[in-house]
Chains A and B, each alone.
Chain A
Amino acid sequence: MNKEFEKLRELIVQKEIDQLDDIILRVKNIENSQKRDILVKSLSKIIVEILVENINNDENKIYSVVHPFVIKGLKEELNGTNDEISKILGPLISSSIKEQVHKEKDSIVDALYPIMGNMVSKYVTNAFKNMMVEINYKLQDTLSTEIIQRKIKSKIYKISEAELLIKESNFAKVNSIFLIHKESGMLILDAHREDNKKIDEPEMVASMLSAIKSFVNDWISNQDKMSEVSEIEYGNSSILIESAGSVYLAVVIDGKSDFNLQEEISFTLSKVILNHAIEISEYDGDPETIKSNDIIKILSTLFYNKSKNKNKNKLENKFPIFSTILLIFFILTPLSWSGFNSYKEYLIKKAEDSIISLIQKNNIKIYDFKIQTDNKIIEIEGIVLNQNEKDKLNILMLNTNVVNSVDCVNYSFLNQYIKLQLNKILFDYNNKYGSNISYIINNDNKIILKGSIIDINAKNELANYLNKIFKDYKLEFNIKLLPKFKDRIYFEVSSFEISEKYNIILDNIYKLLKIHNSYKIRITGYTDIQGDTLFNKNLSFKRANSVKTELIKRGINKKSIIISFVAAPPNDILDTLTQKNISRCVAFNWEINSSE
């Protein structure tokens, strides 16, 4: 029944009901809007008063209410294409960046100045000048939201090649060494060639170097995954960086690095790591946990390195030169050009070490063992004395990516082989150092070296080298060290007359020649840079000759004296213009090679 009634109602009055609903809704709306209008009207009269009142009472609160909107608005503006804000903020920000560069400049120069030497401040100032020009240019040209967000991280600029050429120098001399904890940038220890050249704040230097290193590595790694900073150049000095797992070495040198020095540095670092790996990797800033004396002893060998820079055309191999805004005003050379890569090297070393220990464990004796790595292939070379050992080796290297090129030979072949190698090494060596070292191999296969040499370092170098190459043999060194002739005889302008004051020197030379009477002496005459070449040639000959005469007078056999003469100052005169008085001289050297 009910249902029927409902239906009926719908049919008769639905229209009226809907209309009624509509009317009710409208009335409600009218009511609301009227209320709102009234409210707005009455509030707007006092809203300013409320604000004023509130600001007076609690400025901070109002500020904190309004602040988020301001920031939000600002952010939206910055991210949008609208450059209104850029225009307003531009001048402000560009001046703040400028100011920072100015301010930082001094503190950077101050902190690094001691290791930079005199030349450097000039270069630094120049570099900064260039940078300022660049920055100004950049800011004027492309002031964008990116810059506002301080995205200026790096910039490429070039120093003229001429400037770089000035900095070319022949010898790389190691001045300071820093051993630095890689992660934290904390200094573990520092060593210096001379104590008075110590650096004031080595801890700061270490930190800054680490920061520069991270900064640049981060930047370079975006371009080239395999390279890392290896060298920072400034003025006519460089800082070479050699990294290992937990530490790195920063070696400050005069002049430019060359491959030999780099190799030596990497060798020295591996020696340090080999002996002190644990203490240095766990370094937490406490110097007492480090055996500094031991480590410094190892590192100090680098001070005696005097490798000559053979690579005069290095400039051409150079990567683009970068500079970055913060402290990076140096010139940085990524490593790839030198074929050096620390991390790769590290992996290779690890692989090689494990092969060596495998061979040792199995008691295989390989003569003249060499291991070479090229990309992913490791090749071992050498000689074993019986087929058994060779087979054993083949089995060991099965299923590895090691190429086994070890040969099996008989004993007399081995002997022959050693002789060949020794001949070659000693020939090169005698040529290089003017020595006369020869060898014999005695009945128990011991290699005995004899002869003489002047330079103690050269002697050590030979010993180290041979010990490395012939580590499977017994070696005996019977090498005599000849004293160096330190003194020279100097002459007046255009003169070849020997002053009386040189008698003591001549007497000493006489005594030395008497003691080492199986050796000859070479006397070389020199002149200053003034004067005609032909005249100078004659003059230098006469100078050498008058010294020869003096020695003969004292009783030296003239066959033991060889003379030579050059119409120029000796090589070791640094400034031929101001050092003329010491350019005019005669110098003495042993002539070992041609002695019987």
Chain B
Amino acid sequence: MNKKQKKIILIGSFSVGKTSLIRRFVENSFSDKYISTIGMKISKKEIQIKDEILMLLIWDIEGAVNKVKRVNKTYMRGASGVIIVSDISSIGIKEDLILHLEDFYSVNKQDIPAIIAFNKIDKNKDFSIDISDIFDKYPSLLASFKTSAKDSLNVENMFTLLSKEMLKS
């Protein structure tokens, strides 16, 4: 064993496209069917950052159904990086993002890098949102990406940026 490992988790409400983003990144495929994740699912992918090979263990965690019934936080613990996914065609995006950020940082160190994915951007290319206040509130929030698991937009970029940041720490 001589590869570095890192745990990345994807969180976000149900059906926002967490599983789809991972599938796009790991297997480069996509399906229209919605098969809701139960519990969690773990995938592995090795990527090369400069001259180093990194083994990503990507935890896909079932989406919370509502504000009250949050998911089991123990899955989130010990992550080296997090992607918070939201669906641009849903309502209450900002509120939802904050809930997930709070969940994550309540069990992890404050300096763990995070990225926000505004997913399903293929549905509305003109989508825009101002989240500067969220960036102010969470200093470890690295960036936000408009992604599409369907059209393979920004998925690879997003994972790569997060991985680079994780290697720095």
Residues of chain A touching chain B, judged by Cβ–Cβ distance below 8 Å, are 60, 63-64, 67-68, 71, 96-97, 99-100, 103-104, 149-150, 152-153, 181-187, 189-190, 201-204, 207-208, 211, 214-215, 217-218, 284-288, 292, 324-327
Asked if residues B72 and A190 are in contact (CB atoms below 8 Å), the reply is: no
Supply 12 further A-B pairs (C-beta < 8 A) apart from A100-B36, A207-B7, A326-B40. Answer: A67-B91, A68-B91, A103-B35, A150-B14, A152-B38, A184-B7, A187-B1, A203-B5, A204-B42, A214-B74, A287-B2, A326-B41
Partner of B39 from the list A182, A183, A184, A215 (CB cut-off 8 Å) is A215
Contacts of B1 in A (CB 8 A): 187, 189-190, 202, 287, 292
Complex formed: what's the CA distance from A590 to B62 in Å?
62
Complex formed: what's the CA distance from A408 to B33 in Å?
78
With contacts A60-B123, A185-B78, A211-B75 taken as known, whether A150 is within 8 angstroms of B65 at the C-beta atoms is yes
Asked if residues B78 and A181 are in contact (CB atoms below 8 Å), the reply is: yes
- Against A, the Cβ 8 Å flags (1 = close, 0 = not) of B51-92 are 000010101001001100100101101111000000001110
In this complex, what residue of B is CB-closest to A285? B5
Can you show 30 pairs from A to B with CB atoms below 8 A apart? A60-B124, A64-B124, A71-B90, A71-B91, A96-B33, A96-B35, A99-B35, A100-B37, A104-B41, A149-B66, A150-B38, A150-B62, A152-B38, A183-B78, A185-B57, A186-B5, A202-B1, A204-B42, A207-B7, A211-B59, A211-B75, A217-B74, A284-B6, A284-B169, A285-B6, A285-B80, A287-B1, A287-B3, A288-B2, A326-B40
Contacts of B62 in A (CB 8 A): 150
Asked if residues B38 and A100 are in contact (CB atoms below 8 Å), the reply is: yes
Q: Which of the four size classes fits the interface of chain B?
A: 35 or more
In this complex, what residue of B is CB-closest to A107? B41
Contacts of A153 in B (CB 8 A): 38-39
Contacts of B91 in A (CB 8 A): 67-68, 71
Asked if residues A215 and B72 are in contact (CB atoms below 8 Å), the reply is: yes
Asked if residues B4 and A287 are in contact (CB atoms below 8 Å), the reply is: yes
In this complex, what residue of A is CB-closest to B108? A183
Contacts of A104 in B (CB 8 A): 41
Complex formed: what's the CA distance from A186 to B9 in Å?
13
Asked if residues A285 and B4 are in contact (CB atoms below 8 Å), the reply is: yes
Complex formed: what's the CA distance from A284 to B166 in Å?
10
Interface of B is mostly: loop
Complex formed: what's the CA distance from A99 to B33 in Å?
11
Asked if residues B75 and A214 are in contact (CB atoms below 8 Å), the reply is: yes
Residues of chain B touching chain A, judged by Cβ–Cβ distance below 8 Å, are 1-7, 14, 33-42, 44, 55, 57, 59, 62, 65-66, 69, 72, 74-75, 77-80, 89-91, 123-124, 126, 169
Complex formed: what's the CA distance from A187 to B4 in Å?
10
Asked if residues B34 and A211 are in contact (CB atoms below 8 Å), the reply is: no
**CB of A412 to closest CB in B, whole Å:** 58
Complex formed: what's the CA distance from A57 to B70 in Å?
40
In this complex, what residue of B is CB-closest to A104? B41
Complex formed: what's the CA distance from A256 to B100 in Å?
42
Asked if residues A211 and B39 are in contact (CB atoms below 8 Å), the reply is: yes
**CB of A191 to closest CB in B, whole Å:** 11
Contacts of A60 in B (CB 8 A): 123-124, 126
In this complex, what residue of A is CB-closest to B65? A149
**CB of B40 to closest CB in A, whole Å:** 5
Complex formed: what's the CA distance from A204 to B80 in Å?
16
In this complex, what residue of B is CB-closest to A201? B44
Asked if residues A207 and B57 are in contact (CB atoms below 8 Å), the reply is: yes
